[in-house]
Structure 1
Amino acid sequence: MRSRPPSHASVGDLALFSADELLDPAEAGASAPIDTAELAEIRASLAEPIPLTGDGDLIGLMRQLWAEQQRFERVRAERLGTDRIGLATLDLLLNLGPQPPSVLAVHAGCSNAVMTLSLNRLESRGHIVRGTHPIDQRKILVLLADGVPELVEALTAPRDARMNAIIAGMGKRATQNAADFLTHMVEAHRG
């Protein structure tokens, strides 16, 4: 196994490492609270700008954006030691709060059996905990473990800050045009 990537590694560099290489060996089997230095390291590694190669072709730029988003999600999943379903589950819990496994399965687009396997992996990594519903004790709720919201946010904060800065610099008309365009693109994807 190669050594872990240096703290100054770019996002592209991180994509070359497997999840096991990105995780500290001590953290691979058990949960350990992430410290502020590691959060700073994560932010720094994901803050590097992504060069654009588009020539103004909107469909080409959309494909490039889609490819960049996929790469970004792969890096996030590897850094968290999970897969696509696990990452979607963490994002859902961050945005929706505690949920029953069946609701998470529907939102993640997988079967209950696949969600159970994903939750088992997330729980073994210390990312989630399962508890009973406060009113209906028969129901199980899945919650993010302590420190995980900050970790998940740290992986997206630099990109989100860059995007927000771009949006803030756009005029009202340009922002509305972009919103209209993206709305139509979402509709086109849905068919």
Structure 2
Amino acid sequence: MTPLGESEGYWYPPRRNEQPSAVDVLNALREYRASETAMRRRTRTSMAMGETDLLALRYLLEAETAGQEVRPKELAARLGMTSASMTALVDRMASSGYITREPHPSDRRAIILRPTRGADEEVRHTLGNMHGRMIEIAESLSPEETTAVLQFLVRMREAVDAIDVAGD
């Protein structure tokens, strides 16, 4: 039996030669995804947040960096949440000190959600070293390798996005 993570897997046929194969690439991608999932779980645990809370915070931090204002309705649409669930999420994140509610500058009925400085600092502290290691690895690629990796990942994303649950 081949050890888990080597050349064959549940869906893939046994390896035919010693050269790295498509199956090796898919297994490496699967192992990366498992590591990333574990990292996200550790991050959520260290920040005492759920997955949706962490996604919301990431989106708010990105919007803040881009100079964009985010209303709860926009965040709910982005995360695929109902308004009731969004209200609970905003209440929870505000009481935990991760976000603030601010009046909209031109619509006094609306509010804008903003990440707190403390939330930004905590995310940077928690994930900064890992992101530094990741950018170092990505920057070590040659232009040709960068192009190949980008094309591969875009095509893999398109393949996954094209899955029709009812038909597949």
**Is the CA contact 1:77–1:83 (under 8 Å) kept in the aligned structure 2?**
yes
Which of 131, 141, 148 is the matching residue for 1:160?
131
Structure 1 residue 68, shift from structure 2 partner: 1.5
Unaligned runs of 5+ in 1: 1-52
Instruction: Determine helix, strand or coil for the equivalent of 1:104.
Output: helix
Name the CA distance, whole Å, in 1 between partners of 2:32 and 2:126. 18
> Does residue 174 of the first structure (1) align with residue 136 of the second (2)?
no
Q: Which of these two proteins has the greater Rg computed from alpha carbons?
A: 2
CA deviation map 1:98-147 (0-9, x unaligned): 41111111111222221211111111111111111011111111111232
In structure 2, the partner of 1:29 is none
Please give the residue correspondences for 1:14-53 in structure 2 after superposition, counting only pairs within 5 Å: none
Structure 1 moving runs of 4+ over 3 Å = 53-56
| 1:128 matches 2:99 | yes
TM-score of the aligned structures, taking structure 2 as reference length: 0.77
Q: Distance in 2 between matches of 1:54 and 1:64?
A: 10
Kindly indicate whether residue 66 of structure 2 is the aligned counterpart of residue 66 of structure 1: no
Q: State which drifts further: 145-154 or 53-62.
A: 53-62
- Tell me the secondary structure at the aligned position of residue 137 of structure 1: coil
Matched, 1:78 2:49: no
- Give the Cα separation in 1 of the matches to 2:129 and 2:156: 25
Q: CA RMSD in A?
A: 1.5
**SS class of match (1:134):** coil
Aligned counterpart, 1:100:
71
Alignment partner for residue 109 of structure 1, among 61, 65, 80? Answer: 80
Unaligned runs of 5+ in 2: 8-19, 163-168
Which of 1 and 2 has higher RCO (CA within 8 Å, sep 6+)? 1
Separation in structure 2 between the aligned mates of residue 63 and residue 139 of structure 1, nearest angstrom: 43
**Identity in percent:** 27
1:65 partner letter: Y
Distance 1:166 1:154 in 2: 20
Tell me which amino acid in the other structure corresponds to 1:74.
R
